[in-house]
Structure 1
């Protein structure tokens, strides 16, 4: 890691056949909007109240009431890959994120596009916004480079930054969420037959090492620092871009205890299948999913609630209640930012975008199919996993496959997988002035086809910044394939992506392509698929239960042909059919 100075804690994949629309530069900084980009971590499509959830998220509902809820928005199935596309508008293989740094396929090591961190083959919107006179802030999670492999936030145009560089950490202190078994210290312990302890997570504030205070919850810490950044530069007169990257609800499942109790009885009574059905019913009855949506079939990896003992049911209900509390806390912090902007007369001139980076985390360390034995041994050796201790700083639970499956309601699968439950996530946009003026699309539900790549292009257009396309400050870059959503948000069109604006994605050897309402998908046997391509209408059939490849042969063949060209153009590596990223996970 690049050397950092010590300071005190008190200083608080996708592809489109079109290029994005160009936008006109605007040098009038007084009229340019502020931009608040909020990213939730490992939160399911059905986890927020405006998406049919029982979890108390009134501030998300407030955003939905004033803006547009998107019901057909897709990210990647893992966090760093989504974040790279979110900041560039590029396909994952174009920017070094053809692999996920926590589970690397051995044959991809050293290959271009598979670096596992954000490369400078693209330009980030943080750089372009900085160049255009914006103050550019990041608070929370980075997960795009650690200084040795990939650059730090302030080398990507951020003027102020705070938080962690990795994929997550303990929510109450500076301890790591997963062990790094490759360090010399831990290698020596393993050779001696000992299990490593809990190392410290690297924290930074404005490029300097930061001593994280214990006992302050992660979302509170991140939110307070972001508001402080905005306050500090208030007199500059510049517009700002705030990348608020929460680590909730990423494991370890930990939350303020005062928020946990209200959910325990509900999850105890519903159980896995009951929650899945309740979420499905709400998503369909509220029009968030099509009335034709079938209930998702039982997943072979999940357990049945009736098969659990009484103690196991209580344990699982409290874990899920703690997960819900993590999401409620994130909503509280989002409200804290909105309230601050409203009090300081900045809300009216702020574009607000909320999304989550992928579906819920189904990885369960003790599960033989999607777990990791070494990780499980590390948890058992270092944490108190008792019922009474769930959610505390020295606990390390995950919600596991059965709850992850339940949270998505009418969708199948979860994080790591390219089924709709892993990649279809909430996304809400509130344009500037939508809180005070009669915004025509306020409260609207839209099934417009949208990719995470489209968000950065939308931000640039609102900021009046033209993307340089192929060259940035003397370095060659790859043109983004995201498409601006602003014409849709301005009611100039009813679509974001038409059928000609298809996009494709690959990770872990699993692939999909979306074109209009249709999706082709292929999942390897090592990740519980059959290794064959299938076709679904994901607007009418988001549960992906009615394959159409035999009924829509021409469409199916055309989409396969498009994917083959995409794969060739991006030098995608074939992955052995039986390989498991869970067994390979670091």
Structure 2
């Protein structure tokens, strides 16, 4: 009897303790690993059909969901502002950005060129919840001469990297000169590096991917040791120009690009994208672009040079994959992987700038490179080189899409994006390994991340201050299998930059590109799921949808007091002023 009484007592005690233990587990806050690639095309990753082997991106895709109809903005700082806040770019200071201003927009609200204080960022909200909040790599949202503020102003507890849009991958030099310096043509300039808001002396000879990853691992290890949850903004500068990479990664890619050239690579990736279901099987190839050189127009030496440049670009992507692998391996070995939400995206399509190109470049910048860097074949990828992939490779990189960075065609704004919800790596996540063409905007990502972290956005009032409420939508219902879509047909979003604009409603995109940016200045309607190359305009077939979407955009334009841009204005020429 005494034995049974003791057994009953144990059962009662166990029953009482179980809910408490479950609650304790449920209260554990998820970590967030937000990974941002720089100028990486929709077709650049192996897991998105590329010839470049990216096994660690595969690991993410196998655990989570790959999105094939995700839209960023066509330029990096504008995307980052929306990613930080869930707001439209014009609402938070990035109606233009520091490298290019339309003259009439200067001084107008929304066109400051940096993240403004009427925004609330994810980093602030995570800080408020007791998270360690880390930024490593590129910032490009303000600070120093750009105006605005650096990361520590926005709730980051620790930070490391650069404030600008990019830098040399091997040393502390800027990627561009300071044009206002009267003697800029005759010298190189140092980049401003910081560690926790203080000036940092960047070591020479350490590749950017290694430097950034090691610092992020150091931050995460400190938080783990202290038992604190963490949010990390891991912003690589690969594959942004200057195109530089570890030499041991370059050679393996060279022969492929020498053999295929511009047109061959675009065709190869177009076919792979269709074959793997990343674009519609009925998708037409992208139309030829008059700005793009032909491979057979190059001499043999020029072909070899260009092949090595793009092989170096591929090596940048491979290095990024390796660095992500380092992070994943540490999280797994330290027991944190299952409780970490992981999101990867590129900030825009590939950079098509060519310094010597009068249409899409800056000839003065090209002269500066020629005078200050080694432009030989042997130097490609080294610290003393400064190359860019240019329009032809950028056009090829997108495979079945048209245009590239700076442009609002799908090649400029449709980018790779993968979400691995917390717990998905336990191998029981029902959407693991899925490919989805659900329409999604970059401003939906912060709302999704906050949702999984259990953090309520304050809306339009933050700590007694009126702020811009976000218009992003959480994708959690979709990711949790409760819905087949992220946005319904009425949850449209609009975007404008440099006077070029589009609106997405369901699978349909209404787009206008000015003549000064090589468009025709007219609005065109496309079903970008069936027709990702935007080759089959539908405005005549669907006049009601066309009128409805145009009316919605005009309302958006009026509400946000968008500055009207002259039809002939060229943003590339402005960037060189």
TM-score range, shorter chain: over 0.9
Which residue number in structure 2 is paired with residue 89 of structure 1? 86
Is 1:55 the equivalent of 2:52? yes
Q: 2:311 aligns with which of 318, 321, 336?
A: 321
Looking at structure 1, the residues matched to 455 and 68 of structure 2 have their Cα atoms a distance apart, in angstroms, of: 28
Is 1:160 the equivalent of 2:174? no
8 Å CA contact retained: 2:160, 2:194: yes
Higher helix share: 2
Looking at structure 2, the residues matched to 231 and 203 of structure 1 have their Cα atoms a distance apart, in angstroms, of: 22
**Distance change (3 Å), C-alpha of 1:574 and 1:340:** same
Q: 2:484 aligns with which of 489, 494, 497?
A: 494
Of 531-540 and 232-241, more deviation after overlay is shown by 232-241
**Distance change (3 Å), C-alpha of 1:411 and 1:110:** same
The structure whose RCO (Cα within 8 Å, separation 6+) is larger is 1
8 Å CA contact retained: 2:488, 2:506: yes
Once the two structures are TM-superposed, the CA of residue 297 in structure 1 deviates from its matched residue by: 1.5
Provide, for residues 527-580 of structure 1, a one-character-per-residue CA deviation record: whole Å limited to 9, x for no partner.
100000000000000000000000100000000000000000111001111111
Is 1:234 the equivalent of 2:231? no
Helix, strand or coil at the partner of 2:80: helix
Which residue number in structure 2 is paired with residue 174 of structure 1? 172
Which residue number in structure 2 is paired with residue 11 of structure 1? none
Helix, strand or coil at the partner of 1:36: strand
Is 1:362 the equivalent of 2:359? no
Of 301-310 and 234-243, more deviation after overlay is shown by 234-243
**Distance change (3 Å), C-alpha of 1:27 and 1:500:** farther
Provide, for residues 8-54 of structure 1, a one-character-per-residue CA deviation record: whole Å limited to 9, x for no partner.
xxxxxxxxxxxxxxxxxx99995111000000000000000110000
Matches within 5 A, 1:284-433: 284-433=274-423
Looking at structure 2, the residues matched to 100 and 122 of structure 1 have their Cα atoms a distance apart, in angstroms, of: 16
Helix, strand or coil at the partner of 1:389: coil
Is 1:462 the equivalent of 2:452? yes
Provide, for residues 385-416 of structure 1, a one-character-per-residue CA deviation record: whole Å limited to 9, x for no partner.
11000000010000000000000000000000
Is 1:99 the equivalent of 2:96? yes
8 Å CA contact retained: 1:30, 1:237: no
Once the two structures are TM-superposed, the CA of residue 473 in structure 1 deviates from its matched residue by: 1.6
8 Å CA contact retained: 2:187, 2:372: yes
Matches within 5 A, 1:56-205: 56-147=53-144, 149-182=147-180, 186-187=181-182, 189=183, 195-205=185-195
Helix, strand or coil at the partner of 1:260: helix
Once the two structures are TM-superposed, the CA of residue 342 in structure 1 deviates from its matched residue by: 0.5
Looking at structure 2, the residues matched to 580 and 505 of structure 1 have their Cα atoms a distance apart, in angstroms, of: 18
Looking at structure 1, the residues matched to 96 and 405 of structure 2 have their Cα atoms a distance apart, in angstroms, of: 15
Of 411-420 and 574-583, more deviation after overlay is shown by 574-583
Provide, for residues 487-543 of structure 1, a one-character-per-residue CA deviation record: whole Å limited to 9, x for no partner.
111001010001110000000110000000100000000110000000000000000
Looking at structure 1, the residues matched to 275 and 97 of structure 2 have their Cα atoms a distance apart, in angstroms, of: 36
8 Å CA contact retained: 2:223, 2:229: no
Q: Which runs of 4+ in 1 moved over 6 A?
A: 26-29
Provide, for residues 50-73 of structure 1, a one-character-per-residue CA deviation record: whole Å limited to 9, x for no partner.
100001110001111111000000
Once the two structures are TM-superposed, the CA of residue 236 in structure 1 deviates from its matched residue by: 2.3
Q: 2:554 aligns with which of 553, 564, 570?
A: 564
Looking at structure 1, the residues matched to 219 and 26 of structure 2 have their Cα atoms a distance apart, in angstroms, of: 19
8 Å CA contact retained: 1:30, 1:238: no
Looking at structure 2, the residues matched to 166 and 151 of structure 1 have their Cα atoms a distance apart, in angstroms, of: 12
8 Å CA contact retained: 2:439, 2:485: yes
Which residue number in structure 1 is paired with residue 431 of structure 2? 441
Once the two structures are TM-superposed, the CA of residue 197 in structure 1 deviates from its matched residue by: 1.0
- Residue-pair matches, total: 553
Of 98-107 and 327-336, more deviation after overlay is shown by 98-107
Helix, strand or coil at the partner of 1:487: helix
Task: Name the TM-score, length of structure 1 as normaliser.
Answer: 0.93
8 Å CA contact retained: 1:30, 1:239: no
8 Å CA contact retained: 1:29, 1:238: no
Once the two structures are TM-superposed, the CA of residue 121 in structure 1 deviates from its matched residue by: 1.2
Provide, for residues 276-296 of structure 1, a one-character-per-residue CA deviation record: whole Å limited to 9, x for no partner.
000000000111100110001
Matches within 5 A, 1:238-253: 238-253=228-243
RMSD (CA atoms): 1.2
Task: Name the TM-score, length of structure 2 as normaliser.
Answer: 0.95
Helix, strand or coil at the partner of 2:342: strand
Matches within 5 A, 1:464-483: 464-483=454-473
Helix, strand or coil at the partner of 1:244: strand
Provide, for residues 306-333 of structure 1, a one-character-per-residue CA deviation record: whole Å limited to 9, x for no partner.
1110000000000000000000000000
Matches within 5 A, 1:220-231: 220-231=210-221
Looking at structure 1, the residues matched to 186 and 131 of structure 2 have their Cα atoms a distance apart, in angstroms, of: 44
8 Å CA contact retained: 1:67, 1:431: yes
Q: 2:533 aligns with which of 527, 536, 543?
A: 543
Looking at structure 1, the residues matched to 91 and 523 of structure 2 have their Cα atoms a distance apart, in angstroms, of: 24
Once the two structures are TM-superposed, the CA of residue 459 in structure 1 deviates from its matched residue by: 0.8
Which residue number in structure 1 is paired with residue 11 of structure 2? none
Of 245-254 and 374-383, more deviation after overlay is shown by 374-383
Looking at structure 1, the residues matched to 362 and 26 of structure 2 have their Cα atoms a distance apart, in angstroms, of: 51
Once the two structures are TM-superposed, the CA of residue 437 in structure 1 deviates from its matched residue by: 2.9
Looking at structure 1, the residues matched to 69 and 482 of structure 2 have their Cα atoms a distance apart, in angstroms, of: 19
Provide, for residues 415-458 of structure 1, a one-character-per-residue CA deviation record: whole Å limited to 9, x for no partner.
00000000000000111121123111111000001000000001
